[in-house]
Amino acid sequence: MAYDDLRSLLRALERDGDLKRIRAEVDPYLEVGEIVDRVNKAGGPALLFENVKGSDMPLAMNVYGTDRRLLKALGLKAYTDISEKIGGLLKPELPQGFVGVREAFGKLGTMTHVPPKKVKPGSAPVQEVVLTGDDVDLDRLPALFTWPEDGGSFFNLGLTHTKHPETGVRNLGLYRLQRHDKRTIGMHWQIHKDSANHYQVAARRGERLPVAIAFGCPPAVTYASTAPLPGDIDEYLFAGFVQGKRIEMVDCRTVPLQVPANAEVVIEGWLEPGEMLPEGPFGDHTGFYTPQEPFPALTIDCVTMRKRPLLQSIVVGRPPTEDGPLGRATERFFLPLLKIIVPDIVDYHLPESGGFHNCAIVSIDKKYPKHAQKVMHAIWGAHMMSLTKLIVVVDADCDVHNLHEVSWRALGNTDYSRDLTVVEGPVDHLDHSSYQQFWGGKAGIDATRKLPEEGYTRDGGWPEMVESDPETADRVTKRWREYGL
């Protein structure tokens, strides 16, 4: 099973020699970010900064910076552990498309160990200390000024809780949070995000929106906040499924929301309709700065925390960064669900260098002319996969995770006058390459073998790939030691 809270995971990592305590004073202005980025790119350990300048809270960083640590945090041996469990929910056969996805998640609700469990106020560790009024001071929390051109200090791993003002359906999301002053946070939720929709609905009704932001949450909850779930699927239901037992929740003190009882720190407040402040720039996971834009400004009325709390954050920027393992987990976990929507898919890969949404490499068992193009358009219609800018389709015998083999197929199997599909559609809010915000050009590359029915009528048809003679290869394998190689 996954760890119930952050601090128990950190203790386990320390026992494994996979956590380093840093007792020297460190500056959250640029210094922490530089340290963490170097350690992450070197595949180094989780870090616990015990003496952060200007704050009395320790700061946990790079906790999920390797696949090994994220798997340990979630209680898994491999990411396929969850994809196989999800695959089990899909039997007997479910309808295709989003109906099938919802029916699969509907089965989660029948599992008694999965739905979240409410605990009594006062018994939750995260409410051991309650601060209101003039005692609220966000400067106590170590926010990071990570890159030289950032517009301020940010909290990068606060899990934001909202609920739809009309339906009451809650949403858990991970968005960057700029600290404007000791009681004000900038909410950078992008145009395609559910929380942005909640705010727009509340503003249209002339109502303020309650918000709670939790830091240092149980690992399964942190992962669930990043998962691309349909808007009506509860992230806490999914977190319980991943964790293997129910997530304990507690009512907030000043807003009508629930948060993880075992979080380290929670901040609570209200968003007033139309109350905006400039947010950014910010060195984001794209590896480029995103520009300053107006975003809602949250006024904090209450802070709850453990008696000796610690904060958790991450550093994003030019990949690889700590969000890499989180993206790989999503890629593997959601393969069975993507296959419901696009059953033609054999496997897929979302390269970290593409930010997990700029490129999708997809393998198919090609059966008919223009099969690859059919799959491209199906992916562009599949929930958040609609933001994919480049789709490369290869045959089923290609390992989509071997970028050398994929590039060999894509570069050698393509006649760009026929095999390149160019369309326009929505792109990620953070995409800087589109000539206008929110939409731009996309491309699909058909790198599959071409059929005569597709116009490939050269003598002899599509050529065979060069392969070793099986008998010779087997003989060489058996004699390998004799060669002294």
Describe the strand order of the beta sheet including 59-61 as a list of residue ranges. 19-22, 46-49, 59-61, 311-312
Q: Under a CB-based contact definition with an 8 Å cutoff, are residues 60 and 155 in contact?
A: no
Domain assignment present for residue 420? The answer is: yes
Q: What CATH code is carried by the domain that includes residue 409?
A: 3.40.1670.10
- Write down the pLDDT at residue 466: 95
pTM attached to this predicted model: 0.91
Which of 18, 284, 428, 431 is the catalytic position?
284
Residues 285 and 376 in one domain: no
CA distance 353 to 320: 7
Shared domain check, 376 and 241: no
Which residue range forms the structural domain that includes residue 307?
116-137+149-312
Tell me whether residue 284 is one of the annotated catalytic residues. Answer: yes
Contact between residue 47 and residue 39 where contact means Cβ atoms under 8 Å apart: yes
Q: Indicate whether 478 belongs to any domain.
A: no
The verdict on 302 and 153 lying in the same domain is yes
358 in the same domain as 283:
no
Do 173 and 304 sit in the same domain of this protein? yes
Is residue 1 situated within a structural domain? no
| Each residue's pLDDT expressed in tens, for the chain with a length of 485 residues | 789 999 999 999 999 999 999 999 999 999 999 999 999 999 999 999 999 999 999 999 999 999 999 999 999 999 999 988 887 776 555 556 666 666 766 666 666 568 899 999 889 999 999 999 999 999 999 999 999 999 999 999 999 999 999 999 999 999 999 999 999 999 998 888 889 999 999 999 999 999 999 999 999 999 999 998 876 778 998 999 899 899 999 999 999 999 999 999 999 999 999 999 999 999 999 999 999 999 999 999 999 999 999 999 999 999 999 999 999 999 999 898 888 889 999 999 999 998 888 999 999 999 999 999 999 999 999 888 999 999 999 999 999 999 999 999 999 999 999 999 999 999 989 899 999 999 999 999 999 999 999 999 999 999 999 999 999 999 999 999 999 99
Distance CA 229, CA 408 (A): 34
User: In terms of domains, do 387 and 259 share one?
Assistant: no
- Strand ranges (E), 306-428: 311-312, 345-349, 359-364, 390-395, 420-426
Please indicate, yes or no, whether residues 279 and 351 belong to a single structural domain of this protein: no
Whether residue 125 is contained in a domain is answered as: yes
pLDDT given at position 384: 85
Instruction: Give SS3 for 467.
Output: coil
Question: Any idea what DSSP says for residue 52?
Answer: B
Supply the CATH number for residue 178's domain. Answer: 2.30.110.10
How many structural domains are present in the chain? Answer: 2
**Backbone CA torsion sign across 477, 479, 483, 485:** positive
Residues 161 and 265 reside in one and the same domain? yes
Question: How far is residue 305's CA from residue 262's CA, in Å, rounded to a whole number?
Answer: 10
As a whole number of Å, the end-to-end CA separation of the chain is 44
Is residue 171 located within the same domain as residue 256? yes
